[in-house]
Amino acid sequence: MSDSTSDTHPPRRARLCGRTDLAPGEARRFDVAGLRVALVRIGDDFYAIGDRCSHEDYSLADGEVWPGECEIECSKHGSTFDLRTGEPCSLPATRPVPVYGLVLDEADVSLVVP
């Protein structure tokens, strides 16, 4: 029997941090809801991508943020990833990383759990 109400439930959210906990240009790893997420702040905007480089299993949150390009650079071999799409912008990575939705309220940044 199917649950006819399941489509109407609001998306589940998981709080990551306060809006001011990350400085502009900073990236930080969060392990939440079984996901490994790199949260990046550029100006007052936030982006969340999978925190596993698609080239090798390496934390993207350890890399350098490029605010002007809206990218983050993997610190292991130098691939950059577009924070809006998760697509790699340079080799050696060729596959995208997941992009996650965020909900920002007055104080907090929360992940939309997929």
Kindly list the residues in this chain that would bind ligand FES in the complex (CB under 6 A).
53, 55-56, 58, 74, 76-77, 79, 92-93
Report the residue number, 85 or 104, with the smaller CB distance to ligand FES: 85
What are the residues facing 38 on neighbouring strands? 29, 49
Q: How far is the CB of 99 from ligand FES (least distance, A)?
A: 17
Report the residue number, 58 or 66, with the smaller CB distance to ligand FES: 58
**57 alpha carbon, distance to own chain's centre:** 15
What is the Cα Rg of the chain in Å? Answer: 15
Report the residue number, 24 or 94, with the smaller CB distance to ligand FES: 94
Report the residue number, 62 or 108, with the smaller CB distance to ligand FES: 62
Q: How far is the CB of 63 from ligand FES (least distance, A)?
A: 8
Q: How far is the CB of 40 from ligand FES (least distance, A)?
A: 16
Name every residue whose Cβ is closer than 8 Å to that of residue 90 and which is 6 or more positions away in sequence. 78, 79, 80
Distance CA 45, CA 53 (A): 22
Q: How far is the CB of 5 from ligand FES (least distance, A)?
A: 42
